[in-house]
Structure 1
Amino acid sequence: MPRILCALPARTWERIMTAELATELEELGEVVPCPQPEVLSESEYAALWLAADAVLTGWGVRPPDAQTVERLERLRIVAHAAGSVRTLPRRLLERGIVVTTARSAIARTVAEYCLLSAILLLRRHCEHLGRASAADAPASETLFGKPVGLVGFGCVGRCFRDLLRPFDCPVRVHDPWLSPVEAEAAGVIPCGLGETLGKSRVVSLHAPDIPETRGMIGTRQLGLLQDGAVLINSARGRLVDTAALTEELASGRIRAALDVTDPEPLPLDHALRRLPNVLLTPHIAGPTTDDLPELARLAITEIRRCLAGEVPLHPMSLEAYDRMSF
């Protein structure tokens, strides 16, 4: 019988697992729980990985050390019930072990957040709250037909693009890894960063947090945004120069929805918390409470397919690993 190490910390297990899904996992093999990996010694934790045919990981996972990874002979798959796998050693992939991600299950809810934010900010919803009359209300806009710019076109960017289809929005994309064939199939216009920022009424950031992208949106880039434009960041706070963004938003020239910031969380007295043109949320764009079990469901599906000799649905390549956010 295959042995399945559940390397999910107790707090993660409780968030994403249901009784039904736990039963499905148990039907695949002998499940070895590890609810408190932090209390185990290196040798004790290594022994669990070395004896596993499959490992279920997720938020808060304790990765195996380098020596353990080199000794893995039995392990066939690491199914990560979360988005970025950068917490796991790259060497797992180099050794030919399948590593899968549940980012597709996360992408749809983040895209939903982006759509919600775009509409709320264009409609000036927050500025209307508490008003007794619309007589002196600020001018609002519809999303229908508005040009949208996506900086990055990974899972979330593609999901957001799909949600925009009913609104007939022309969509520009800046992504150095987007091929012309992919752009045509998705119905988007590949552009440089400057054109994407300058010709869009709504700009949504979906680039990964890697050394090449940190601080990619600074004073010069923010200055390219149209007056009254909406900037959405549900990706990573380090993509944006916080000081420059704060200054631009304080001028009132643009509006922003920020689910991520740098630092995160922002200090309680930070200026961004007091601006009326900022929709600030505490990194909640990802899975809603009721949707969290989808992460476990997808990871269990990956384990089932691998143990049955089938091709995984969402395997990571070395190239994709290197382009994934930290």
Structure 2
Amino acid sequence: MNAPVWLPIPPDEIDGLPEGPDYRFWDGGADGDQEFPGDPADCVLYVVPYMKRHPVKTRPLPGMRRLQVVQTLTAGVDDITPALAGLPPGVRLCNARGVHETSTAELALTLTLASLRGIPDFVRAQQHGHWQGDFRPALADRSVLVVGYGAIGAAVEDRLVPFEVARVARVARSERTTARGPVHPFTRLPALLPEADVVILCTPLDDTTRGLVDAAFLARMKDGALLVNVARGPVVDTAALLAEVSTGRLTAALDVTDPEPLPPAHPLWTAPGVLISPHVGGPSSAFLPRAKRLLADQLTRFVNREPLRNVVLTTGTADGP
């Protein structure tokens, strides 16, 4: 096999890559204008650069006429899927399931605890030298609803259990049973929302989840409840959320927003009871070793013509663009 494979991590830094492919490094460059490492038409497997702007990530795709696999280093693929429409049929899109669960679940718990215990207020008080005590809710004895119970949602529950929460309810697009209990369908949300003290969003963004958290969803949440979003910004109707947090009825902890990045003058920045982190669920020290292991395993499967992991869709089929 000596076909080019484009990697956003230098190949000599990835242990376990199989022999055979012609590995070429391309991450788009600091400004997104890095020259291609060869003719895109020759590339057979493209690993999408991580944490780059959408135009950078998709720039080579129109010329990749021999492409067989697109591998993202993100769990969500909503930004890449539309760019696959011009590719030949049979191209498999694979996501990075197994890479981000640990880091994203850790941040979901961090945001939950920080918001409940009032850490942002303490930080502001520290900046002014104020010793400001307060009586705040604990995570212990709270009821938590996890919306989107895939690998990340399950990892979030793993981290909730030691905190002695009263109950974890799980919701996903498909109803099923797990070792920890039932996973309810989205149709059960109206009944489950009023019971939750904390609602954690982990669902992928697609046509069924865009705007899922609208005014009606938020109105069903109990007074004083906390909404945590580590999914995608457009899962939440920003105007509807602002209306609720502005009254103080709900609070929110958001790692993702709509729009994103959040403009400096946007009212979410100063809305009461809102904690914002700049989409940092994935980028942590946990990312790189897991990403390298995924790539080594996936390339080994590709070279040996074994089934690939994490195939989300295949172009030219019913599930693809």
Inter-partner Cα distance in structure 1 for 2:260 and 2:198: 23
Matched, 1:112 2:106: yes
Matched, 1:310 2:306: yes
1:323–1:133 distance in 2 versus 1, CA, 3 Å? farther
Out of 251, 254, 258, the residue aligned to residue 254 of structure 2 is 258
Listed as ranges, the matches of 1:43-58 within 5 Å are: 44-46=39-41, 48-49=42-43, 52=44, 54-58=45-49
Q: Note the alpha carbon deviations across 1:189-232, whole angstroms, 9 max, x for none.
A: 52611123211111011222222222221222212212221100
Corresponding residue of 1:82: 74
Corresponding residue of 1:20: 13
Listed as ranges, the matches of 1:191-210 within 5 Å are: 192-210=188-206
Inter-partner Cα distance in structure 2 for 1:35 and 1:189: 38
For the 8 Å contact 2:18–2:303, the answer to whether it is kept is no
Q: Secondary structure at the match of 1:204?
A: strand
Structure 2: gaps (5+ residues)? 51-56
Out of 121, 134, 152, the residue aligned to residue 148 of structure 2 is 152
The structure richer in helix per residue is 1
How big is the shift at 1:299?
A: 1.8
Corresponding residue of 2:61: 64
Q: Secondary structure at the match of 2:24?
A: strand
Structure-2-length-normalised TM-score: 0.79
1:78–1:303 distance in 2 versus 1, CA, 3 Å? farther
For the 8 Å contact 1:147–1:199, the answer to whether it is kept is yes
Q: Secondary structure at the match of 1:84?
A: coil
Structure-1-length-normalised TM-score: 0.78
Listed as ranges, the matches of 1:89-100 within 5 Å are: 89=84, 95=90, 97-100=91-94
Alignment length (residue pairs): 298
Deviating above 4 A after TM superposition, structure 1's stretches of 4 or more consecutive aligned residues are: 34-41, 90-94, 321-324
Corresponding residue of 2:21: 29
Inter-partner Cα distance in structure 2 for 1:199 and 1:143: 15
For the 8 Å contact 1:259–1:285, the answer to whether it is kept is yes
For the 8 Å contact 1:107–1:156, the answer to whether it is kept is yes
Matched, 1:126 2:120: yes
1:323–1:121 distance in 2 versus 1, CA, 3 Å? farther
Corresponding residue of 1:176: 173
Corresponding residue of 2:217: 221
For the 8 Å contact 2:7–2:27, the answer to whether it is kept is yes
Inter-partner Cα distance in structure 2 for 1:166 and 1:323: 39
Inter-partner Cα distance in structure 2 for 1:210 and 1:287: 22
For the 8 Å contact 1:206–1:234, the answer to whether it is kept is yes
For the 8 Å contact 2:27–2:49, the answer to whether it is kept is no
Corresponding residue of 2:157: 161
Inter-partner Cα distance in structure 2 for 1:322 and 1:121: 42
Inter-partner Cα distance in structure 2 for 1:158 and 1:311: 24
Q: Secondary structure at the match of 2:312?
A: coil
RMSD, aligned CA: 3.2
How big is the shift at 1:6?
A: 0.9
Q: Secondary structure at the match of 2:241?
A: helix
- Percentage identity across paired residues of the two chains: 29
Q: Secondary structure at the match of 2:107?
A: helix
Inter-partner Cα distance in structure 2 for 1:126 and 1:255: 13
How big is the shift at 1:281?
A: 1.2
